[in-house]
Amino acid sequence: MNLEGRVACITGGGGHIGAAMGEALAELGAAIVVLDVDADHCRDVAESIQRDFGVRTMVLTTDLTDENAVRSVPRVVLSEFGRLDILIHCAALVNSSNLAGFTSPFAEQKSDVWRMALEVNLTAPFVLTQVCADALAASGHGSVINIGSLYGVGGPDMRLYENTPMGNSSAYAASKGGVLSLTRWLATVLAPRIRVNSITPGGLWRNQPEAFHQRFVARTPLQRMGAEEDFKGAAAYLASDLSLYVTGHNLVVDGGFTTW
């Protein structure tokens, strides 16, 4: 499995999962474009990847709610590297986002936050894939990887959240369900020159309240919550030629949570 000479652009690349996926592809030789709204996080991740794996990196500070900025991405990447092979949509507003009215009880969830979640989680992947499609197809190795969610596959078990300050967002669930549907749609429309798949992560350990943690682990056959390292193999598989005959697939990496 070798990605030398290929270029991967990862939205949300400054975050924990995005950075881990960048490391996985860099270890295989890919150049990495770290795209995120936080310039400092982008720079830290890009410098770390370049230092540890000796590959070229690029920082692309981009607000995914700004469509003009999103549409400029392939032009900037091509001017630097001359190609784009892999596109990973990792950026998202998630249930742990500190937004008023996002994970409140349903009666208190806000439509403006709903719209923001759809803009970042669903519209941005649509637009960015659309504008990058020609470059991905031209590379001969075009692979798009969308990041789904357990809550795009099934509804939340609200018993996990009892007596904790945590909540669950309808906008997050709806947008991630849309991402999985978009994956299937794009997989047929962009075939045969571009493969489009998704990864659905299980619950990630984020120092949640112990009551939530214990309940979640009890519902997970592998008896733990996920860590960033758990998604590296999935990203490497779907980005590389190991998955040349795989498209439209949702690879669930959840410790067995959804098998009950």
Active site residues: 172
CB atoms within 10 A of CB 33: 28
Q: How far is CA 180 from CA 47, 100, 119, 232, 249, in A?
A: 32, 26, 15, 20, 9
What is the Cα gyration radius of the chain? 18
The region that residue 38 occupies, defined by phi over 0 for left and psi between -120 and 50 for alpha, beta otherwise, is beta
Q: Which two tokens stand for residue 172?
A: 């997050």
Q: Which two tokens stand for residue 61?
A: 């500070």
